[in-house]
Structure 1
Amino acid sequence: MNFFHIFIELLIGFIALLLLTKILGKTEITQITTFDFVSVLVLGELVGNALYDDKIGIPEILSAVGIWGFLIYLTEFFTQKFRASRAILEGKPSIIIDKGKIDYNEIKKNHLDLNQLQHLLRAKDIFSFSECYYAILETDGTISAMKKQMFSTPTKQDLNLPLQNTSLPISVIMDGEIIQENLSLIQYDEDTLSKELKRLGISSYKEILYAEWQENMPLYIQKY
């Protein structure tokens, strides 16, 4: 098999996988379950193995990707339309700490040991089982946890502090380049931004590594 043929098959496989991920959506990565993980591995293997098999060409690669992609799409369709199928195809969350007590049966059922549970809790800023009131093992293997009230961080409401609206920080300059699409979000243009920079003693946006805008806040700027 010559390198040109490998290049063509690899290019076609890459495009097919790219299109497939666009069609299937972002849940393959952002909310990946055990089944999703296996399906992605199989999909990659289908393309990878086909590259070095002389008897398999582009039509076979596209067919394999298309059929496997259709099966994944069909699975996602069923889980969206039929709630009863979600427990079978996606699994369901498990309460592994209930009102401060570790549920040993749920831990065994999910093949989780106490060291792994400690690791997951530490990622949620909980360093002792005694601090945790509820812990839920999600279908993607992450954990959602609620601290006991005595260990929870007080809110502004608890402290009777005045509440203020928050706004989303928006990047306006990155790597010395203006992010044009973000300027319209904050009703800025290049002239307005340049005037603001000059007011801050900066002659050119090319001097800036990163700049961020937030409502009712001065521009956050970091130079090179």
Structure 2
Amino acid sequence: MFISPTLCPKWNEQNKKWGELLNTNFYHLSIELIVGFFALFLVTKLLGKTQITQLTPFDFVSALVLGELIGNAIYNKDIGLQYVLYAIGLWGSFIYLLEWITQRFKKTRSILEGNPVIVIRNGKLDRHQLKKSKLDINQLQHLLRDKDIFSMREVEYAILEANGTVNVLRKQQYDNPMNKDFNFKPQPVYMPISLISDGEVLWDNLKQAGFDEAWLLSQLNAKGIVKPDQVFFAEWLEGDSLYVSTYI
């Protein structure tokens, strides 16, 4: 049975209120999103151009906090447009002030932005700097592989930058022109295998390499090392000798 809306004034009134509510909410949300977008665009322009790879940990956290402030301000019905602008302006001012301080006073850069740290020096791992930077061997190996370096024996110097990336200076013998430049016959390529990490023998890797504890001890003894726990990192590569880095 069809019921005319005119016969149901309560239903008609409720439907009208829902329509007004939806229109109001969408209107305010659209305005806040538009204003927030242009305000963020203005703040990023004022703060200068920084590539993603150049972001310091503080820059990254600042961007997350700013985005969270905007999101909460926009979707909270109790917060008006003026609070959105205030949140963007105040947080942007803090970031701009810190950028100005680091540009004006050089001594503050190490505190606010951090300093580059040499984690491999003269081909040796610096355990103290790795520990200070909260970086373990596996993480360092991952960063080196990002630079197309699969063996630590190839590295003369490795610098951990303030933004968390690693820049590498290869040893001279590993920084030669490619074989194809001289028409050399291609040689087999082998993957280096880590045998000792932070004083502990990686038994599964040792077995995978086809060696046992006696062989490992003999190799270490040949280098003047008595026990594996004296070794910070050791790596084996087919066709090459055992690479060992002791604690500094």
Query: What's the TM-score, normalizing by structure 2?
Result: 0.60
Structure 1 unaligned regions, length at least 5:
160-224
Could you tell me how far apart the structure 1 residues matched to 2:122 and 2:53 are? 29
Q: Cα deviations across residues 18-71 of structure 1 (Å, max 9, x unaligned)?
A: 111111111263510000000000100110001121221111111110011011
Question: Which residue does the alignment assign to 1:12?
Answer: 35
1:108 matched to 2:128 = no
Question: Among residues 117, 139, 151, which one is paired with 1:94 in the alignment?
Answer: 117
Q: Following TM superposition, by how much is the alpha carbon of 1:137 offset from its aligned partner in structure 2, in angstroms?
A: 0.3
Q: Secondary structure at the match of 1:127?
A: coil
Q: Which residue of 2 aligns with 1:213?
A: none
The secondary structure found in structure 1 opposite 2:39 is helix
Residue 60 of structure 2 corresponds to 37
2:143 aligned to which of 120, 129, 136: 120
Q: Tell me, in whole angstroms, the C-alpha distance in 2 between the residues paired with 1:110 and 1:30.
A: 18
- Secondary structure in 1 matching 2:131: helix
Kindly indicate whether the alpha-carbon contact (under 8 Å) linking 2:156 and 2:169 is maintained by their aligned counterparts in 1.
yes
- Is the Cα contact below 8 Å between 1:28 and 1:36 reproduced in 2? no
Taking structure 1 as the reference length, the TM-score comes to 0.67
**Which amino acid letter does the alignment assign opposite residue 136 of structure 1?**
I
**Distance in 2 between the 1:15 and 1:30 partners?**
24
Q: CA deviation at 1:123?
A: 1.3
Where relative contact order (Cα < 8 A, 6+ residues apart) is larger, the structure is: 2
SS of residue in 2 equivalent to 1:2: helix
Q: Name the aligned partner's letter for residue 18 of structure 1.
A: F
Structure 1 residue ranges, 4+ long, deviating more than 4 angstroms after superposition: none
SS of residue paired to 2:169? strand
- The answer to which structure has the higher helix fraction is 2
Distance in 1 separating the partners of 2:91 and 2:101: 16
Verify the 8 A CA contact 1:31 1:140 in the aligned structure 2: yes
The correspondence for 1:152, drawn from 164, 175, 186, is: 175
1:48 maps to a residue whose letter is G
- State the 1:7 CA deviation: 1.1
User: What is the aligned counterpart of 2:91 among 68, 72, 76?
Assistant: 68
CA distance in 1, matches of 2:143, 2:74: 39
Specify the alignment match of 1:181 in structure 2.
Answer: none
What is the Cα-based RMSD across aligned positions, in Å?
1.6
Establish whether residue 141 from structure 1 lines up as the match of residue 128 from structure 2: no
How far the C-alpha of 1:122 sits from its partner, in A, is: 1.1
Equivalent position SS for 2:164 = coil
User: Offset of 1:113 from its aligned partner?
Assistant: 1.0
> In 2, distance between residues paired with 1:95 and 1:111?
13
Letter of the 1:129 partner, please give it. M
* CA separation of 1:148 and 1:122: change in aligned 2, threshold 3 A: same
Cα deviation per residue 1:110-157 (whole Å; 9 max; x = unaligned)?
1111111011111112110111000000001111001001101349xx
One-letter amino acid matched to 1:7: S
Unaligned ranges ≥5, structure 2 = 1-23, 183-248
The 3-state SS of whatever aligns with 1:4 is helix
Determine the C-alpha separation between the residues in 2 that align with 1:83 and 1:27: 19
Output the CA distance in 2 between the equivalents of 1:29 and 1:62: 25
Contact 1:94 1:137 in 2 (8 A): yes
